[in-house]
């Protein structure tokens, strides 16, 4: 529907052509556009491609009479007013005209002036009617738009929440962190006052508290008996559970609000439960809250499963590599357990320097594997008691690169790989394989280098006896800032003087 130019288009329908002619001349003179038809069928045909503001029609016409035409027009566009012109205004006709949505009728012979007033009135009414309709449409469109916007916002919020949930549990280093994140996120996203994670499985048939959200009193380890029963029921069913304020939570002392219990499963087996409560002054948890909590539980469970798999693979791999190192050292009576001692010394030094637990772990693993590249060096070179030729020395010097290659091929442990690669670099840049200098050499490699050199001098070798301690320290001091990072060396010597180095 569109607003049309005033004054408008009038359609006259009558089988008497003289009436059409008079009306056409009169209204065109007044500036109207005038269309004419000699019966209803013709009129409808015109209206298929012409926009009409109002229609005057006779009643008795061949093919389609005026009342049928009025009915058709009403169905096609109920904003077009129809005025009936009749010579016989019977009561019956009057009633029928009004039923068909005719807005007025004029008695023939029509008075042109009267007709003009009628046109002005119906067109004004029509304009108001159309404006009102347009307004209503606009209001409806606006309401629809607002509702769509609200829907969209909800979707976006939901999607954002799910993204957060997924993101929270990828790349979590330890299972303990997964559970901590789970309760913190549940508290935040589900608007829980408090959140707990309980372990429950074949090993622990009685639920045991692992972690609670901030603001919870430190747990005594297990829930009170009534709650424990509920938790065990959920663990058995394996289905999430939502309790409203008025649905029985009162059976637990201290909890009078709404609560949710969501199981965590690995391969359909429940191994733990997320338990959330909200106090009674707030609304109950909704289905959406339960949906979020379930999504979190699912992703946390995946993370736990992945960590378990990864830790298993990691341990297996390490055990295999370590076995290689032991095999190399076993061939050489002199280097027996050298790697273990280097690892222990490096960790002690690192701890004294205040390194974090992860770095100490890296030092321990790298220490034990640092010479794994010697697998690639021939035995007659590796175990040769006398002086090495240049070629033989070059072969030995390849071991950091070979070792880093072995660990790197497994696609794990980039930090360990770095230490293995650079453990023979020297602080003044004269080491191998890259000739890195100073702080270019990774910190952990600089630490390991001190421990490695010390242990080499402090143990018997094929070509010499072990050196006395004071001599070792003298040699090391002379290599300060040449072979060794001066700060690390100073700390090492200080620990030696205090007797705090591992035996």
Q: Which residues bind Fe ion (CB under 5 A)?
A: 371
How near is the Cβ of 237 to Fe ion at its closest, in Å? 58
Cβ proximity to Fe ion: between 212 and 363 the closer is: 363
Q: How far is the CB of 392 from Fe ion (least distance, A)?
A: 15
Shortest spacing between CB 222 and Fe ion, in angstroms? 51
Q: In what order do the strands lie in the sheet with 194-199?
A: 208-212, 194-199, 269-278, 258-266, 241-243
Q: Which residue has the CB atom at the shortest distance from Fe ion?
A: 371
Q: Residue 220 Cβ, how far from Fe ion at the closest point, in Å? A: 52
- Rounded-to-integer distance, Cα 218 and Cα 215, Å: 9
Query: How crowded is residue 116: how many other Cβ atoms within 10 Å of its Cβ?
Result: 14
Our CB check for Fe ion shows the closer of 284 and 371 to be 371
The least CB distance from residue 364 to Fe ion, in Å, is 17
Q: Is 238 helix (H, G, I), strand (E, B) or coil?
A: coil
Separation CA 119–CA 122 (nearest Å):
5
Q: What string of DSSP letters covers 116-161?
A: HHHHHHHHHHHHHHHHHHHHHHHHHHHHHHHHHHHHHHHHHHHHHH
| Residue whose CB is less far from Fe ion, 66 or 367 | 367
Between 371 and 485, name the residue whose CB sits nearer to Fe ion. Answer: 371
* Token pair for 3: 């607003």
Give whichever of 126 and 399 is closer to Fe ion, judged by the CB atom: 399
Residue with tokens 């009169």: 26
**Nearer of residues 101 and 376 to Fe ion, judged by Cβ:** 376
- 122 contacts 83 by C-beta, under 8 angstroms: yes
CB of 452 to Fe ion, least distance (A): 6
Nearest-approach distance from CB 366 to Fe ion, in angstroms: 11
Nearer to Fe ion, 299 or 374 (CB): 374
Asked if 486 and 480 count as a contact pair (C-beta separation under 8 A), the reply is: yes
* 259, 244 Cβ separation under 8 angstroms: no
Residue showing tokens 């229609």: 55
CB nearer to Fe ion: give 228 or 401.
401
Query: Closest distance between Fe ion and the C-beta of residue 300, in Å?
Result: 42
Closest CA to 420 of 487, 283, 325, 492: 325
Say if residue 166 is preceded by a cis peptide, omega within 30 of 0: no
Q: Is the CB of 371 or the CB of 425 nearer to Fe ion? A: 371
Least Å distance, CB 399 to Fe ion, is 6
Complex with Fe ion: residue 145 or 330, whichever CB lies closer: 330
With a CB cutoff of 8 Å and minimum separation 6, the contacts of 464 are: none
Query: What are the phi and psi torsion angles at 398 (to 5°)?
Result: -80, -10
- φ, ψ of residue 273 in degrees (nearest 5): -140, 140
CA-to-CA dists, residue 202 to 206, 227, 228, 273, 405, angstroms: 9, 19, 15, 14, 42
Smallest gap from Cβ 400 to Fe ion, in A, equals: 7
Q: Which is nearer to Fe ion, 371 or 416 (CB)?
A: 371
Q: By CB neighbour count within 10 A (0-12 exposed, 13-18 middle, 19+ buried), where does 321 fall?
A: buried
Q: State the nearest-atom distance from the C-beta of 371 to Fe ion, in Å.
A: 5
Write down the least CB distance from residue 412 to Fe ion, Å: 20
Residue 141 or 331 having the CB closest to Fe ion:
331
Give the residue among 298, 320, 301, 319 at the shortest CA–CA distance from 309.
Answer: 301
User: For residue 335, what are its two tokens?
Assistant: 């280097």
- List of residues 6+ apart from 302 with CB closer than 8 A: 169
Residue 370 Cβ, how far from Fe ion at the closest point, in Å? 6
Residues in the chain: 503
Whether the CB-CB separation of 373 and 455 falls below 8 Å is answered with no
> Nearest Cα to 391, choosing from 405, 377, 371, 375?
377
Cβ closest to Fe ion, residue 37 vs residue 342: 342
Degrees (nearest 5) of the Cα angle 126, 127, 129?
60
Residue 450 and residue 492 in contact, taking contact as beta carbons nearer than 8 Å: yes
């Amino acid at each position: 529907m569109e607003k049309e130019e005033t004054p408008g288009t009038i359609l006259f329908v009558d089988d008497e052509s003289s009436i059409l002619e008079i009306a056409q001349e009169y209204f065109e003179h007044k500036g109207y556009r005038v269309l004419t038809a000699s019966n209803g069928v013709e009129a409808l045909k015109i209206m298929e491609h012409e926009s009409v503001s109002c229609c005057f029609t006779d009643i008795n016409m061949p093919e389609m009479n005026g009342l049928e035409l009025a009915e058709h027009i009403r169905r096609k566009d109920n904003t077009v007013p129809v005025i009936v012109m009749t010579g016989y205004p019977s009561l019956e006709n009057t009633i029928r005209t009004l039923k068909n949505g005719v807005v007025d009728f004029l008695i023939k012979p029509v008075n042109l002036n009267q007709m003009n007033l009628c046109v002005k009135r119906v067109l004004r009414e029509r304009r108001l009617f159309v404006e009102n309709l347009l307004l209503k449409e606009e209001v409806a469109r606006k309401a629809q738009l607002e509702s769509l916007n609200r829907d969209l916002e909800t979707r976006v919020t939901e999607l954002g929440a799910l993204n957060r949930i997924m993101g929270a549990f990828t790349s979590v280093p330890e299972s303990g962190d997964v559970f901590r994140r789970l309760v913190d996120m549940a508290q935040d996203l589900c608007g829980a006052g408090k959140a707990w994670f309980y372990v429950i499985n074949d090993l622990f048939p009685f639920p045991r508290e692992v972690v609670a959200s901030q603001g919870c009193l430190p747990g005594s380890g297990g829930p009170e008996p009534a709650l424990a029963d509920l938790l065990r029921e959920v663990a058995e069913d394996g289905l999430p559970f939502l309790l409203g304020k008025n649905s029985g939570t009162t059976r637990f002392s201290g909890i009078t609000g709404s609560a949710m219990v969501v199981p965590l499963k690995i391969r359909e087996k429940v191994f733990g439960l997320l338990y959330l409560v909200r106090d009674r002054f707030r609304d109950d948890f909704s289905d959406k809250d339960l949906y979020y909590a379930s999504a979190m539980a699912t992703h946390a469970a995946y993370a736990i499963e992945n960590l378990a798999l990864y830790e298993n693979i990691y341990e297996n791999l390490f055990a295999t590599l370590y076995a290689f190192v032991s095999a190399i050292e076993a061939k050489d009576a002199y280097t027996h357990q050298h790697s273990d001692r280097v690892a222990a010394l490096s960790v002690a030094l690192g701890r004294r320097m205040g390194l974090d637990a992860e770095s100490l772990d890296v030092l321990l693993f790298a220490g034990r594997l640092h010479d794994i590249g010697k697998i690639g060096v021939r035995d007659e070179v590796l175990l040769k008691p006398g002086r090495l030729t240049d070629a033989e020395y070059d072969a030995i010097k390849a071991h950091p690169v070979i070792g880093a290659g072995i660990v790197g091929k497994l696609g794990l442990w980039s930090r360990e790989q770095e230490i293995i690669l650079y453990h023979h670099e020297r602080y003044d840049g004269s080491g191998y394989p890259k000739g890195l200098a100073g702080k270019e050499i990774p910190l952990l490699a600089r630490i390991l280098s001190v421990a490695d050199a010390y242990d080499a001098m402090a143990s018997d070798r094929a070509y010499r006896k072990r050196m006395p301690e004071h001599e070792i320290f003298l040699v090391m001091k002379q290599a300060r800032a040449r072979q060794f990072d001066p700060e690390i060396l100073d700390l090492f010597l200080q620990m030696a003087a205090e007797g705090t180095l591992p035996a």
